[in-house]
Amino acid sequence: MLDLDSWLPQAQALPVGGKSRVAHDCGDGTPMIVNHKVDGYSAYCFRCGEPGYQSKEPSLAELVEARRQREAGDRSVISSVAPPGPPNQDPQTWPKEARLWLYRAGIGNHEIAQLGFYYHEKSGRVVLPVVNDGRVVYWQARAVRKDHQPKYLNPDVDKTRVLPRYGTAEFIVLTEDILSAAKVGLVAEGWSMLGTKLHGSMLSALIEAGKPVIVWLDPDAAGKRGAAKTLRTLRSVGIQCCNLVSERDPKLHSRKEISELTEPLIAKLRRASSEFD
């Protein structure tokens, strides 16, 4: 952890929301980034490889200004399918809450880089781009502070035609959210429905893929209703499918647990297929 005297005065000199690259007593140049946030000051020295943080009690004026800046940033980023930028792709310099949201889902620095996830400073959100054929076609930005609403931002486009797909396997796992699909995609093949409703474009893609499907939505009431409707739709067009119910969202299971939960269901679908044949 960086010594406070080596960076805090420089951070305190910034306005709320300010960020600057500055010198550090470890050597020449400007290897250190300092930030003044509404609830504290932070720093990271790329030469030392060490962070620094000092909390503070924000004033009412600072809270009001921070909210105004967030709302203005939110309005600006949803107006385009292009993901918000500039991207911060170094998790070590992100706020702790941003890193922990992905780390708790088993998404480490290597996977963050592989998936193209990044932090957007202005909106205070982790951005999950959806890439098809090398082109970003959609994105989702997740707030990392509990008091930052709405929790998710999405571009103002028709998401019914978006197909977030990750990994490849002999079967497909349908999930609600992008992060769950990406997590499943590390060990199998995950597709995100971007909610609990199966849209026509994804149904067409599933028919074309010709693979058995596991429906694994969140274990709340909306997820259970959505899973039941999705299973009926899949069966009506002849797609082999089954439901997976767990106590936690898919993204909160380890890779080993994902394999252990899905493999018996796929084996069951294989047996049913061979008996039918």
The pLDDT confidence band at residue 206, using thresholds 50, 70 and 90, is: very high
Whether 61-157 shares its CATH topology with 158-277 is answered no
Q: List the domain boundaries for the chain.
A: 4-58, 61-157, 158-277
The pLDDT confidence band at residue 277, using thresholds 50, 70 and 90, is: very low
DSSP 84: P
Q: What is the pLDDT of residue 205?
A: 96
Region 170-190 average pLDDT: 96
- What distance in Å separates the CA atoms of residue 92 and residue 50, rounded to the nearest whole number? 9
- What distance in Å separates the CA atoms of residue 250 and residue 138, rounded to the nearest whole number? 21
Q: Among 13-27, 66-80, 95-109, which is the least confidently predicted range? A: 66-80
- pLDDT at residue 21 greater than cutoff 70: yes
Please list the alpha-helical segments (H only) found in the chain: 8-12, 60-77, 96-103, 109-115, 178-184, 200-209, 221-236, 255-276
- What distance in Å separates the CA atoms of residue 254 and residue 31, rounded to the nearest whole number? 36
- What distance in Å separates the CA atoms of residue 182 and residue 44, rounded to the nearest whole number? 29
Q: Which pair of tokens denotes residue 16?
A: 């709320």
Amino acid residing at 175: T
Count of CB atoms situated within 10 Å of the CB of 105: 18
CATH architecture of 158-277: 3-Layer(aba) Sandwich (3.40)
Q: Which CATH class is domain 61-157?
A: alpha beta
Mean of all residue pLDDT scores within the chain: 89
Highest mean pLDDT (candidates 58-62, 140-144, 171-175): 171-175
Whether the predicted model's global pTM rises above the 0.85 cut: no
- pLDDT at residue 274 greater than cutoff 70: no
Q: Which residue has tokens 């797909």? A: 165
Q: Within its chain, how far is the Cα of 232 from the centroid?
A: 29
Distance between start and end Cα atoms, the chain: 64
Region 26-45 average pLDDT: 90
Q: What is the pLDDT of residue 76?
A: 58
Q: Among 172-176, 224-228, 265-269, which is the least confidently predicted range? A: 265-269
Q: Residue 49 phi/psi, 5° resolution?
A: 70, 30
